Chain A
Amino acid sequence: MLSLKLAIKNLLGAGLRTWLNVIALSFAFVLIIFYNGMIDGWNRQSKRDTIDWESGKGQFWHPEYDRYDPYTIEDSHAPLSREILEEIEKKNLAPVLVSQATAYPQGRSIGVTIFGIDPKQTILKLPTATLPASNGTDYAIIGKSMAESANLSVGDNLLIRWRDKNGTFDAREIQIASIFKCDVPIVDKGKIYIAIETLQEMLGMENEATLLVTGEGFEFRELNGWVFKDNDFLLADMEKIIQSKKVSGSILQALLLIIALIAIFDTQVLSIFRRQKEIGTYIALGLTRAQVVGIFTVEGAAHSLLAILLGSAYGIPLFLWLNRTGIAMGYAEDMEFDLPLAEVIYPYYSIRLIIITVIIVIITATIVSYMPARKISKMKPTEALKGKLQ
């Protein structure tokens, strides 16, 4: 406690030199929290969006289905049992039938995946309610990114060709009923959503589905003939991508922290050489060398405490403001990322993140302060009292 009190006094007494170091370190401290908070916020938002738009509370897959292997789609369908139909009726499950197809917008051909989905479902945020019932014309909804890449607008007709359950090619024109805006690329890019009954009829797979999305009300149990995939599985790839972004970001943070720590190290080295007389005086007054090393180490480490206080002074209002207003990212028109990227990201600052960052800053500042302070233990007090360089 005495060391800390002395250290803070010495630091404040050192004036501008202290504050330059403290400002640099506080900047690193705030930036580390800001960056990680933004990544965590993005992570949470991406997960939430993906759950809301695509995965629900988990999915039951046909055993053959592999979303990364288009060749499995053809055989991944099974009839819906009475038990499942009852859950669908209660809106606890949303059946989805998946098929590969080719679309021909303005004479071009593009590979698409057609999702047949219940227009009455409420589990996913997909605006399936905007799908009109077939009246001789079949309707589809698509995402904004898909609409832009295929140059489609509401009311446009789109020719699609597919193979039914017997492998026979068939083709039909569908009309774009609405275009939705969604932050989740895998829901939008190359996807066409039509009523499940329409797709079942097109494929000759009446009352069949590829997967079942579960909703809040579904009481979990095994469904015979279906394999449950929880969100840990469904969101695993996204988690990995976000973690890799965190790692690459940490290099920048480490560099910034190192610059701040070098400034502290430099100050400590200079301080120990300039303040030899003071060191000698401490020893003459009865401090042991270890205590003097302690004072100088704590003094260097106290930079981190001041940096945390200063960083909190401008960081907390900044973070609160960002938390309220979010950080505008703009709409990812071309959806270059495979990650959901909302137009506004709301950073998330967890207690864990803040505590870990505080500990890192304090420990690293203490280490770089201790290294030069060790020299004190080798000083001759008689020479130190004269202020002679040793």
Chain B
Amino acid sequence: MENSSIIKIEKLIKRFSVGKSEFTALNDLSLTVERGEFLGLVGPSGSGKTTLLNIIGSLDTPSQGKVTVIDQSIASLSHKQSAKLRNRHIGFIFQTYNLLPVYTVYENVEFALLLQKLSSSVRHKSVMDALEWVGLTDKVKSKPSMLSGGECQRVAIARSMVKRPEIVLADEPTANLDSKNSHHILQTMKDLNKELNTTFIFATHDEKVMKYLNRKISLEDGQIVKDEIIQHSKN
């Protein structure tokens, strides 16, 4: 599939007020992400990984600079437009899964589609496809409280992928998982990345994630200190 830039960040600065002073989380950061990348933002806590993900996901806005996601400038989006961008084009995966506790696995995955006003048959097929990708078709009626951590994160992946977004933003997706589950999750995402050409961006400092990435951006004090393309040998 042809690669083209899906995210363009130019001279991004993000400041937060901390009491009477200000804290600069991202400092003059520029970055271009191509469609279909499997990219990791790595760095210590406070380096700005999550802040960058939040801005790309239009959950937050830049203090300065320009962030363009799928040809839309994040700073100029209204609440409604940014909600639409998230609903149609961006999937989120969180460290703590953030599943809706009163819904079943099926309903959690279906939720994103409900907003798109699709017919129930189309929704059903999409949800079952997504659950098949993550191997949870036997858990459709389970509630999140009945699942293991690994299963919860697979539900979260299915939820983020069910609407076939162009970008998936994953914030420390393996932080709460053991090694076996982490590899399973990462392999699932890698497969989806290949199959659907979805762009994955991780915020992580988990070493296990590194060997799956094809690009690694190291952040420190809100700045990019290293941008590496990783070549994996085909097996």
Contacts and interface: CB of A to CB of B under 8 A. Distances in A.
Contacts of B111: 285
A13 B79 contact: no
B101 A285 contact: no
B29 interface: no
A286 B59 contact: no
Interface residues of A, number: 23
B44 to A, nearest CB: 18
A189 interface: no
Interface in B113-155: 114-115
Given A2-B114, A283-B59, A382-B60, A288 B83 contact: yes
B102 A284 contact: no
B49 to A, nearest CB: 13
Interface string B70-105: 000000000110011011100010101010111100
Nearest to A280: B98
Nearest to B51: A382
A286 B87 contact: yes
B85 to A, nearest CB: 8
B53 to A, nearest CB: 10
A285 B112 contact: yes
Contacts of A122: none
Contacts of A290: 79
A381 B107 CA distance: 22
A288 B115 CA distance: 10
A374 interface: no
B43 interface: no
A288 B80 contact: yes
B54 interface: yes
Interface residues of B, number: 26
A354 interface: no
B40 interface: no
B36 interface: no
B62 interface: no
Given A288-B83, A382-B60, A277 B115 contact: no
Contacts of A278: 98, 100-101
B98 A14 contact: no
A34 B115 CA distance: 42
B48 interface: no
B45 to A, nearest CB: 13
Contact of B59 (A14, A291, A381): A381
B173 interface: no
A289 interface: yes
Interface string B35-71: 0000000000000001000100101100000000000
A284 B100 contact: no
A10 interface: yes
Contact of B112 (A14, A286, A288, A382): A286
Nearest to B87: A286
Contacts of B80: 288
A231 interface: no
A270 interface: no
Given A285-B112, A286-B88, A288-B79, A13 B98 contact: no
Interface of A: 2, 9-10, 12-14, 277-278, 280-281, 283-291, 380-382, 385
Given A13-B102, A281-B94, A381-B60, 16 more contacts: A2-B115, A9-B102, A9-B103, A14-B102, A277-B98, A280-B98, A281-B98, A283-B83, A283-B86, A284-B57, A285-B87, A285-B115, A286-B86, A291-B83, A382-B59, A385-B98
9 contacts: A2-B114, A9-B107, A13-B103, A277-B96, A284-B57, A285-B86, A285-B159, A286-B83, A286-B112
